[in-house]
Structure formats: C-alpha cells, structure tokens
Amino acid sequence: MLKGVRRVVVKVGTQLLMGGKTGSEERVAELVAALAGLRRRGLEVILVTSGAIGAGMRILGTAKRPSHIPGLQAHAAVGQCRLMSLYETACAKLGFHAGQLLLTAADVRDRDRYLNVMHCLHEMLQTGILPVINENDSVSVDEIQFGNNDTLAALVGSMCNADLVILLTTIDGMHERLPEAAGFGRRLSVVPAVTPRLRQMAMGTDGNALSVGGMITKVHAAEMLMKSGAAMWIACGRDFAVLNDILKGADVGSLFVAADGARLNAQKRFLAFFSKPAGDVVVDAGAEKALVAQGRSLLPSGITAVLGSFKRGATVRVVNASGLELAKGVTNYDSAELALIRGRNTHEIPGLLGGEHHYEEVIHRDHLVLTSAEG
C-alpha cells in the first residue's frame, strides 16, 4: 500500500502543538521539518492543523477553554494568526512557503465552492507550497461547522484524492476495548473494515481540556476514507519522526485500510460526503433491496413518500420506512413531479406528467451512492 502513496494529508492535534514542555514555536518547527522529510521523498503533503484556539488562549492568557461560542471565535481569530506566522517562519527556513486555507462546511457543500477549494489545493501542491488547513473557527458556527479536525482531514483527503491520511494524536493508536474488562486491551495494528463492534469500542473516549475529537470521530473519518479508497493511520505524534516511521511501514499506531481497495469516483465522493440533501425520498422494502443488494437504479414504483421541496438535479437522501438513510443521489424529477409518479410504473410517467421527454429512473445508478452505515 505504501508503495502507491503519492499524496498525504497529515493532521496534527492541538495537544501536540501546545501541550508539551517545549513551546509551540519549537513544536511547529519540528513538525515542519518532518513534513519537509516527506516532501523530499517525493510525496505531496497537505497539513490540517489544529491549535488556533489553543494558541489564542496562550496569547490572551486564558486558563480555561471558553465555553461560550463568541469567546471561542475570538480566541481562534487571535490564535490563527500566530499559528500561521509560526508555520511560515518554519517553512521559509527550509526553503518553501506555507499557504493558509480556512474552511467551513458551507465552503464544500456547494459544488462550485468545492471545486474552487480543490483547484486552490492543486495549485499549491503543483507549485510546492505547503497547504495549511484549519476550520475557520472565527465564523464557523452551528450548521456550517465541521466540528473537529479529524472530520476535516478526512474530507480534505477525500476531496483531493489523497492516498493516505495520517492523524497524529497523543495516543499510540486505537486499542481494543472489551465491555467486560475495564480499560484498554491490545493496540489494533491494522483494521481492514469498520464494523459495528469497532464503532462501539470507539464510543465514549472523547474530550479533554484542549482537544475536541476522540476515537469515534477518527473511526468515522476512517470509514469515509476507506470508502474513498484511501487509507488512514492514527499514530502518536509526540515525536514527529513517527511520520518517517509510518512511511517506512513500521508497526506503529493503527492503520485503517480497506481490504477490497474499492475507490468511489470523484463525483460519487462529492455526493456521499459533501453535498447537502434538499429532501428525502422514502422507499419500500422492494426498492431498498434493488438499491442495496442488487445495485439497481431507483424507479418511481418503489417510492412511497417524498419529503421536502426540491428541483430536478438536486441531491436527495433515499431513506427506508424506518427513516434509515440508504443512499444519496441526484434526482431526475422535482418533488412535485415525484409526488405524482410515486408508486407508479415507469410506462405511466408520460400520462401522469404530460410532455415527451421522461427518464425511466428517478435516480440513475451512476448518480447514486450507498451511504448506509451498516453497508
């Protein structure tokens, strides 16, 4: 797997940059030196960095992480400048430059804005600039929030077709957790699939004074990346030389790599992980089977209800009668048309809608991606 790795996203948590004995300046310089090592191996490197709020706390002398949102926004506004100045200073010493990209979820849900972000990233990689990405915490509130940088790193990895996403944290990987035994068991060295049991083991491990995500956000990130055809590696970043060990294939941390190696194409990755659904199409058990087990398109006959108001070409969720999301797809019909043709046979469509040009499928298989967590 490592032989095929060309593009790598590295995510670094706040604790690794701010929490140690040495100051953040030294830590950023050490990190940049390790990233430069990867670049010398011929890899394209993208950094997702936390630490804006942590840096803001240091500068403003705030002992306790603010609990109100405007306080967090203001701390990020102060800290992000410091963080970038440290990165640029460290990069310039090694002969290249850092470029900042601050994102909110709204920046990547819309197809045009998503493409703009992607083009900017590609340009930076082509010209040897180190992209340094963080959530735009000063404006990213409520529904436009990613919420944590594990998710952000996975989305960036999926967006730019990375081969490997490395999440550096303060623990040496994911450990087995048995319900009957208190504490943790052996380290999971290689994880070939995310199962319900694995998700269960990752629950309830979130949070400390400086960090946001926990193991469950990392497992969700791994699921997204494995579906995108990328691998994800969780490792301890107290010593950034671990990046070199990882690229040499050392048995450190936890590597999540899908056994089948299937890779969703770019359009389906956008559909699955980025696009915001405008409504729901509820389907019966027959259509569920056709979509999930038989790889078919969605026809009007299997639709029982339509929720929300949307146009042709919108992204919609396909859900079953119990509300479980099965898939996301691009609809060929608007919500009013679907209300008229639901439950009917394809050959009845012209009679119901009038006009001449009709699609047989409500969602063609090429524009549908299965998203059920159980899948």
Q: Which residues bind ligand GLU (CB under 6 A)?
A: 13-14, 50-54, 134-135, 137, 148-149, 211-213
Rg (CA), the chain: 23
Q: Based on CB atoms, which residue is closest to ligand GLU, 88 or 137?
A: 137
Residue 50 beta carbon to ligand GLU: minimum distance, rounded to whole angstroms: 3
Kindly give, in sequence order, each residue whose CB lies less than 8 Å from that of residue 209, ignoring residues fewer than 6 positions away. Answer: 64, 65
By CB atoms closer than 10 A (0-12, 13-18, 19+), residue 353 is middle
Residue 361 beta carbon to ligand GLU: minimum distance, rounded to whole angstroms: 40
Q: Based on CB atoms, which residue is closest to ligand GLU, 212 or 225?
A: 212
Counts of helices then strands in the chain (DSSP H, E)? 14, 13
Report which of 374, 267, 285 is spatially closest to residue 329, judged by C-alpha positions.
Answer: 267
Q: Based on CB atoms, which residue is closest to ligand GLU, 19 or 213?
A: 213
Cα 115 to Cα 163: distance, rounded to the nearest angstrom: 19
| Strand positions, DSSP E, 294-372 | 303-307, 315-319, 325-330, 368-370
The label of the residue with tokens 């659904």 reads 277
Q: Based on CB atoms, which residue is closest to ligand GLU, 134 or 331?
A: 134
Residue 220 beta carbon to ligand GLU: minimum distance, rounded to whole angstroms: 13
Q: Based on CB atoms, which residue is closest to ligand GLU, 211 or 335?
A: 211
Kindly give, in sequence order, each residue whose CB lies less than 8 Å from that of residue 158, ignoring residues fewer than 6 positions away. Answer: 224, 225, 228, 230, 269, 273
Q: Based on CB atoms, which residue is closest to ligand GLU, 14 or 331?
A: 14
Cα 104 to Cα 137: distance, rounded to the nearest angstrom: 8
Helix (H, G, I), strand (E, B) or coil at 189: coil
Q: Based on CB atoms, which residue is closest to ligand GLU, 79 or 279?
A: 79
Angle between helices 24-40 and 69-93 (to 10 degrees): 50
Q: Based on CB atoms, which residue is closest to ligand GLU, 62 or 372?
A: 62
Residue 161 beta carbon to ligand GLU: minimum distance, rounded to whole angstroms: 23
Residue 109 beta carbon to ligand GLU: minimum distance, rounded to whole angstroms: 18
Residue 75 beta carbon to ligand GLU: minimum distance, rounded to whole angstroms: 8
Which structure tokens are listed for 158?
């999926």
Which structure tokens are listed for 368?
């549908």
Residue 9 beta carbon to ligand GLU: minimum distance, rounded to whole angstroms: 14
Residue 104 beta carbon to ligand GLU: minimum distance, rounded to whole angstroms: 11
Cα 13 to Cα 224: distance, rounded to the nearest angstrom: 19
Please answer whether residues 39 and 62 qualify as being in contact, where contact means their C-beta atoms are separated by less than 8 angstroms: no
